[in-house]
Chains A and B, each alone.
Chain A
Amino acid sequence: MSKILKYPTVLQSLLIVIHGLCLVLVFGHERLEIPLLLEFIGRTHPLILHFPIVLLLLLALLFWNPNLSLLDNPKLSKNLFLVTLLLTGGTVMAGLFLAAEEGYVRDEFFLHQWTGIALFWIATLWFIFWTKKQHAIARPFSVVTVIMIIVTGHLGATMTHGDDFLLAPFKKESRLNKVDLEEAVSFDHVIKPILEQKCISCHKASKQKGDLRLDAESYILAGGKNGPVIDKENPGLSSIIQRILLPLDDEEHMPPKGKAQLNEEEVNLMMAWIEESAHFDTKLVNYPEESRFFQLAKEIFAENVVSTYQFPPATAKTIEKLNHDYRVIQALYPNSPALRAAFFGRSNFKSEHIDELSDIRIQLVDLNLANMPLKDEDIKKLSNFTHLERLNLNETGITGSFLDELKVLDHLSSLSLTGNKLNIQNLSKIGELVQLEKLFIWNTGLDQTAISALKKSLPKTLIETGFEDDGQLYQLNPPIIQASSGIFHEKIDVNIKHPIGSVGIFYTLDNSLPDSSNYILYDGPIILEKSTNLRVRAFGEGWLGSDEKKAVFFKAGVKPSSYGLTYAPHDSYKGKGVETLFDLEKGDEDFASGKWLGFKDTDCEIIMNFDGITRLASISLSLLSAEASYIFPPISVEIWGKSEGKEWELMHSEKPEQPRQIRERKQLLLEYDLANENLLQLKAILKPINSLPKWHQGAGERGWVFLDEVLIN
């Protein structure tokens, strides 16, 4: 068997079969119902087509180059040629399957299909004449083959990529299609942009889903596979509208789910356009004023037109030249001849920077010089900017001497003078600027009489005088206490500050509230040598006294030589481990700050060792109570001591008072006397509450104990 059926023979027979199949398909594919698998094969067309292209070109190269003669290894070259032809045939078939799916334009497809098939035939002929060694005939076929590859390939690419894919980079067309309302045409400037954005990608020359094109009037009127899309008799029944309005999940809905949908505005425009007879070439201004389409379309153009400027634009080069890091010049909006300029960076400002704008003196409509150090004479220069509408001179240090020069600026509608100490002598000069619509004069030192006079001379101007101090007394904010820590060994320096330098800082050290009769006036760092309650308030003229600020400073005179925890704190609040309790760092109210240790499921049991024998006066435990966050005082506290040669001895056992309701978050300090005993070791056991009280939102659950510091004296 294997001797008779040699590879070339099998391949040749297959080639004949494929030729036959191609013929059947090419005439019959429009009537074929393509099964799913073949549809898949069809879709591989754009992928596999590259193989025959490369192979055919390679064969042509080998064929024409005498140094790489195909004849050197006839068997190999024949097999290669056959495989190439089979792939070519396969590609043609796949293409025909693909064509059976809907959506391809007849003209382009027609050409591509036939050049493709012709290519297959011609290449086959080339092969036949080549095997028969009739090179004179084979040669022209090889040339035609190469040409056909280029033609077919190009036609195919046009179908997938669009008409002008190749040349598109050379065509720099403006994407901005902006016209004024007066010139706008119903279809071209209103409806077409919508279709272009939302519909045309599937309904255009190169891709015609449902045999429908929406890229020109004639095609839209022609409709698609399912008939016309616009029904002028019954606008509401137009299928284009119906499909847009179907629910997104409906199969018939357009654009299909997953593609960009029309927004409400666009739907309304489409509906109004069709309802009003779907005119293609009517100018918008020729629609009646009450037309809904006109009203909707007008909105689009309203966004473009703020006010029309008649002056010529400055060149892009001029604008670019004038722009630098401290002066920014921009068009008001794209394609507007009107410019705005803003100056930044007080320390880089020079008066000449204004002169340099003379190149755009016609175009400048908005000038922002706020915070620039201007001289009064600089104002004179501004009268050159003939179209200036908006001028910001806030905090520029001018006194107003030359503001009357601005009266020649007919378009000037808004002038801001905030923060300049205007000279009352110059009031009449400002009063000459009758063209102003808005004038901003807050914090310019003008009193009520001056403002009334100004209002009289500028009756049409809205004068914004801004915030007035109505004499209401505001409360000062409390001072800021600055100290390295709330806990110290020997002594500590405490600084107190207030952002308003002129206020007085009153404090006490005896835990009484500072007020006008009971205080020490702060005038430098306070040095504390024992545990102290510091209370501070700020007082100043024209203000109400501040709330108090409290700080507690603890002295921790003795540090254990070593210490440890019997049970680890909860994983979420383990700080730096036991070290946290002896680092002289108070925790704040944020219990997750890492300065607190939290215990819930285990007791907090601290064992402290003291080198040699130490007289200990007291132990203090600094705790947090925050019932809202399930943090309670411990249900019991035990203090055990051990002296030389003795067993552990219970020194204190206390049940701290438990809260009866949710209170504000606060810190508490439990202190226990150690009676100056000589102790080797000390042990504190704090038990978290195991069942929260009934009134609490977490009734019955375990509570937490939070501890940030242990102080021993």
Chain B
Amino acid sequence: MEKEQIEHSLGHNRRKFLSKVSLGVGSLALGSLLIPDLFTKKPDEDAIMAALPHFAPKAKRIIYLFQNGAPSQLETFDYKPLLNQQIGKELPESIRMGQRLTGMTSGQNSFPLVGSYFGFQQYGQARAWISDLFPHTSKIVDDICIIKSMHTDAINHDPALTFFQTGAQVGNRPSMGSWLSYGLGSENNNLPAFCVLLSRGKGNGQGVYSKLWTNGFLDSVHQGVQFSASEDPVLYLKDPKGMKREDRRRMLDKIAEMNQINYESFGDPEITAKIQQYEMAFRMQTAVPEVTDISKEPDSIIKMYGPDCLIPGTYAANCLLARKLSESGVRFVQLYHQGWDQHDNLPTEMAKQAKDVDQASAALIQDLKQRGLLDETLVIWGGEFGRTNYCQGKIQLDNYGRDHHPRAFSIWMAGGGVKPGIVYGETDEFGYNIVENPIHVHDFHATILHQMGIDHEKLTYKHLGRRYRLTDVHGHVVKDILV
């Protein structure tokens, strides 16, 4: 302790000394030569921030309904009658074209095609095929844009999920929501710009972990704030019994004062971040209960979202909460619904999963629409990859499984300047390869940023000597699906 005090009084310690020396001397001598813009970082970033948004945004907020585990495109939106006709027949090599397999089916010496156990009908002005598992979604078909031609690079859950959320398959990059928080800030200063809601689902589950909503190398204020499934959505937000709000205020003022002194002597920006976070938490103490209180929602809302919406931690409750958070200016609400990993028991499990999400997803769109918010809120529904058109494990008419498939899968988007009532992209008749209008994950990111008024090539952050973007060095805005 004595050592720390001396170090503090000197304003120095070993680490600071070394970093100062190496920064000071080293960068003066070499930095100016090797990294010509070493000293220009600040103006550089200021310029990036000053120019945001780059153009008039179509969407102000995003709600991402992530279907974690990867729902099968072949039982949702990609209708392939050929698979039902050729059930049990071998997947032709001319279609598979050497596609790598996961460890779960690489040992299989046969790849028997299997068609959807569920029927499909056509709906809406686009005559879109939707499986019978989604009766509510089929009612909002004229408000959504179904994309059947998504593809990704990854074939296993963790990298694929990380890729979708951060633009890279390895961890440590900032999440999409963090990029938006960094680029656009919060609309409402009393709530986090980036909120995360989790629900478990009823099928075979895959984990989600906080690296998916990490701020990566961005400032920690951009981290996603996970809401808990309990009746206290934000833990430890309530004051202890008997503590008055004025007392809390006085306490925070004193702490801020001390932190400020500390900041002036140490200069660590994390200290100011901390002061801001305490202040925000204080404001959240009133803002969060206002937003999360569902007791005043009318009965018709419960009927729309389904009675599950009253049980904290269900997908339906999270959809309702997402609407309320988004309505209150939260820039990015990220939901994860687990349980979509149907390697076996697909018919039983998917039926349960679909029942879990169908009504509430559709209700969210309807609810935003009736409030006049759908045009400025972008809603996305989809998983991290698709599933194989052949069966994993033993094939039975009423029981089969599907392995991971990165080459083609389906998602839908609604609102926020995305063309409603269209179906975009097409796969071959085996549902295996994309034959028309492929959309890569990078393109997906570029398009989403574009809708928020951001040029994905210009929103950058310099870290470890190079500029990073959500889309790395890729990505095209898919103008075809935009209004």
Contact = CB atoms under 8 A, between A and B. Distances in A.
Interface string B17-55: 000000000000110110010001001000100111111
A86 B51 CA distance: 51
Given A50-B29, A333-B55, A440 B366 contact: no
Contacts of A645: none
A325 to B, nearest CB: 5
Interface in B311-348: 311, 327-329, 344-345
B283 A347 contact: no
Contact of B371 (A160, A328, A442, A500): A442
Given A165-B36, A342-B187, A344-B328, A469 B303 contact: yes
Given A175-B47, A334-B53, A394 B307 contact: no
A418 B373 CA distance: 11
Given A169-B43, A303-B55, A328-B188, A345 B290 contact: yes
B33 A160 contact: yes
Contacts of A609: none
Contact of B56 (A328, A336, A416): A336
Contact of B372 (A169, A175, A418): A418
Chain A interface helix/strand/loop/mixed: loop
Interface string B142-166: 0000000000000000000000000
B283 A325 contact: yes
A370 B60 CA distance: 15
B298 interface: yes
Given A344-B329, A500-B302, A160 B36 contact: yes
A662 interface: yes
Interface in A451-478: 464-467, 469, 474-477
Contacts of A392: 372-373
B305 to A, nearest CB: 10
A467 B372 CA distance: 13
A697 B393 contact: yes
Nearest to A476: B307
A480 interface: yes
Given A371-B328, A466-B370, A332 B344 contact: no
A131 interface: no
A342 B372 contact: no
A140 interface: no
B308 interface: yes
Contacts of A415: 372
Given A440-B370, A499-B307, A328 B54 contact: no
B36 A161 contact: yes
A405 B89 CA distance: 70
Nearest to A325: B189
A298 to B, nearest CB: 13
Contacts of A46: 33
A344 B287 contact: yes
Interface string A182-205: 000000000000000100000000
A697 B51 CA distance: 58
Interface in A299-329: 303-304, 306, 325-326, 328
Contacts of A345: 190, 283, 286-287, 290
B371 A47 contact: no
A162 B36 CA distance: 9
A462 B399 CA distance: 47
Contact of A697 (B286, B304, B328, B344): B344
B371 A394 contact: yes
A628 B344 contact: yes
A383 interface: no
A165 B29 CA distance: 17
A558 B283 CA distance: 53
A65 interface: no
B307 A464 contact: no
Nearest to B191: A344
Interface in A616-667: 628, 662
Contacts of B307: 474-477, 499-500, 543
Nearest to B371: A418
Contacts of A418: 370-372
Given A303-B55, A328-B188, A394-B372, A480 B311 contact: yes
Interface in A73-100: none
Contacts of A162: 36
A474 to B, nearest CB: 6
Nearest to B58: A306
Contact of B304 (A325, A419, A467, A475): A467
Given A334-B54, A464-B369, A477-B311, A260 B473 contact: yes
Contact of B345 (A333, A416, A442, A662): A662
Interface in A321-364: 325-326, 328, 332-334, 336, 342, 344-348
Contacts of A176: 51
Interface string B352-377: 00000000000100110111110000
Interface in B289-314: 290, 298-300, 302-304, 306-308, 310-311
A263 interface: yes
A443 interface: yes
B394 A697 contact: yes
A333 B36 contact: no
Contacts of A175: 47, 50-51
Given A499-B311, A697-B393, A333 B57 contact: yes
A333 B452 CA distance: 11
Contacts of B51: 175-176, 334
Contact of A347 (B286, B310, B453): B286
B476 interface: yes
A72 interface: no
Interface centre among B188, B189, B310, B372 (most CB of A within 10 A): B372
Contact of B190 (A326, A438, A480): A326
Nearest to A328: B187
A54 B187 CA distance: 54
Contacts of A467: 300, 303-304, 363, 366-367, 370
Contacts of B329: 328, 342, 344
Contacts of B50: 175
Contacts of B304: 467
A713 interface: no
Interface in B216-267: none
B283 to A, nearest CB: 6
A261 interface: yes
Interface string A469-501: 100001111001000000000000000000110
A531 interface: no
Contacts of A435: none
Nearest to A629: B204
A544 to B, nearest CB: 10
A466 B366 contact: yes
A414 interface: yes
Interface string A12-53: 000000000000000000000000000000000011001000
Interface of A: 46-47, 50, 160-162, 165, 168-169, 175-176, 197, 260-261, 263-265, 303-304, 306, 325-326, 328, 332-334, 336, 342, 344-348, 370-371, 392, 394, 414-416, 418-419, 438, 440, 442-443, 464-467, 469, 474-477, 480, 499-500, 543, 628, 662, 695, 697
12 contacts: A168-B40, A175-B47, A264-B476, A326-B189, A332-B56, A333-B55, A336-B56, A342-B187, A344-B189, A370-B371, A480-B311, A499-B307
Given A440-B372, A474-B307, A499-B310, 6 more contacts: A175-B50, A176-B51, A344-B189, A347-B290, A466-B369, A628-B345
Which 9 pairs from chain A and chain B are nearest by CB? A466-B370, A499-B310, A416-B372, A442-B370, A333-B56, A440-B372, A303-B55, A477-B307, A344-B188
Interface of B: 29-30, 32-33, 36, 40, 43, 47, 50-57, 187-191, 283, 286-287, 290, 298-300, 302-304, 306-308, 310-311, 327-329, 344-345, 363, 366-367, 369-373, 393-394, 399, 453, 457, 473, 476
